[in-house]
Structure 1
Amino acid sequence: MVNWAQMYDCYSETGRVPELLEVVENEDDAEAWQELGYRLVLEHDLVAPASFVALPRLMRLASDSERARRLAGEILERAAGHHGCDDLLANCAGAIEEFRELLDKHLRTRPTERLAVFRALLAVEEEYHWAAVLGDFTDDFYGVACPHCAAEVTIAIGDCGRYSAIRDWNMGDVHRRDLRPASLDELSGAGRWMYETATRAGEELLASGISHLFGKAGCPGCASVFTIADEYAAFNQPVLR
């Protein structure tokens, strides 16, 4: 039995989250979902004990509720932070494993919220960095520093093209160089898992974007070649607890 009197939310209150959970479990109340989201995930990184205690109940709703899937995923994306709730998160292990299976099956149905589902899957796999930053590759830009000359390089992967460039705020992206996507044989670790998961779900645009993100880019400044994902992750990893 959860002692909700000790489980404060992101506003340091203890009584409202269980009340809201009761509401959304009985009806799809938009206002209740909105308030629940504010109380369980505040801004970009803050979660609270109530967030993790609410997880199993959210995951039970996830098979029939897009809102539940999104909110559970957003909480898990922040599981690497300094929340001080490792014991509460550990208690969710069984529910998280079931959530993984649900998300994997749901992704194959080509849902409208496919990016949110994919990012939630990344969080379940503890790939917190990519869960936080991955876009849908329609208009994605990643800033990296060339490992050889330290030039600030813009990586574009989207409808505008797939290239590396130097961003000039007056002239736009200049000195563009086409990216070289990674082949399946070249992918490993997180990149391979992401690519294979997207491919299995029939998400061709997402899979193609991932192959470019984990592929090679040429520096417009010194012409050296580097692996995009390695350089981006090196400077953008979240602070882990």
Structure 2
Amino acid sequence: MWLELWTMLCIEGETLVPGSLAALPRLVALARSETQALEMAGAIVRSAMTDDHQGERMFVENPDAIAELRELVDQRLQTRPADYIWGFRTLLAIEGQFHWSAALGDFSDDFYEVACPHCSLNVTIAIGGYGYYSACRDWDAGDVDRRDLRPASVAELHGMGRWMYDLAVRDGQDRLAEGITYLMGRAECPRCASVFRMADEYAAVNLPPMLSVRLARSKIG
């Protein structure tokens, strides 16, 4: 049954069909006792956020279902499941943070690309097992001219960054929490040596247009 529903409502876990959003309240109701329903509802939310119109419709038409889904996902995270990052990214999508929901990993080997705000160089940012650095990416030589990242202190974290950090700490996800301090910290451009906030530059390019409306409706700690 669930395989058929996935095929009908969320193809390959990411492609929605016309009835996907209409099915969300029923899936959330089933998610109280069915893990597959919870995962499908989360996949629909994340997929809807890739499209401004669908994302806005989802929040406008299903506010109660979205609120309950948020609570159910949060409850699951507190059990510290093996697929913790799935729930974490789903909560980010529910909070309207699709740019982080789509890109965030568990910081085992995360890489991001941002443009230096001063000289426009495409800067590669590594956070995880390969190191914590900014660099120029050369497809023959690899990451060259590496500069150490400067993590944010806990006191410097605010808004969504602090929310993400506190959630990871609450659930004992130490590597995730540490990675977030680097993600919200500062990077040095290998070309011009200017220092900038990596998250600001990444969000400026990847923030969905609808998010400004979404954020105006809610306040994150």
TM class, shorter-chain normalised? 0.7 to 0.9
1:163 paired with 2:157, answer: no
Amino acid corresponding to residue 194 of structure 2 in structure 1 = S
In 1, the alpha carbon distance for the partners of 2:75 and 2:113 equals 33
* Shift in alpha-carbon separation, 1:86–1:187, aligned structure 2, 3 A: closer
Taking a change above 3 Å as real, the CA distance of residues 153 and 54 of structure 1, as seen in their structure-2 partners, is same
Q: Which residue of 2 aligns with 1:19?
A: none
Secondary structure in 2 matching 1:175: strand
Structure 1 residue 213: deviation in Å? 0.6
Please list the CA deviations of residues 68-109 of structure 1 after superposition, one character each: whole Å capped at 9, or x if unmatched. 222211211233424458556534211221221221121121
Aligned residue number for residue 204 of structure 1: 174
Unaligned stretches of 5+ residues in structure 2: 212-221
- Contact preservation (8 Å) 1:145, 1:151: yes
How far has the Cα of 1:49 moved from its partner?
A: 3.6
Of 5, 9, 28 in structure 2, the residue corresponding to residue 59 of structure 1 is 28
> Would the aligned equivalents of 1:73 and 1:119 in 2 still touch at CA under 8 Å?
no
Q: What is residue 215 of structure 1 aligned with on the other side? A: 185
How many Å apart are 1:199 and its aligned residue? 1.0
Amino acid at match of 1:234: A
Give deviations 1:109-153, integer Å, cap 9, x for gaps: 110111110111112212222112211111110001111111111
2:102 — aligned with what?
132
Q: Which has the larger radius of gyration?
A: 1
Supply the RMSD in Å over aligned alpha carbons.
2.2
SS at match of 2:19: helix
The normalised TM-score by structure 1 is 0.79
Aligned partner of 1:34: which letter? Answer: L
Query: 1:36 offset after TM fit, Å?
Result: 2.6
Other structure's SS at 1:193 match? helix
Alpha-carbon deviation of 1:37?
2.6
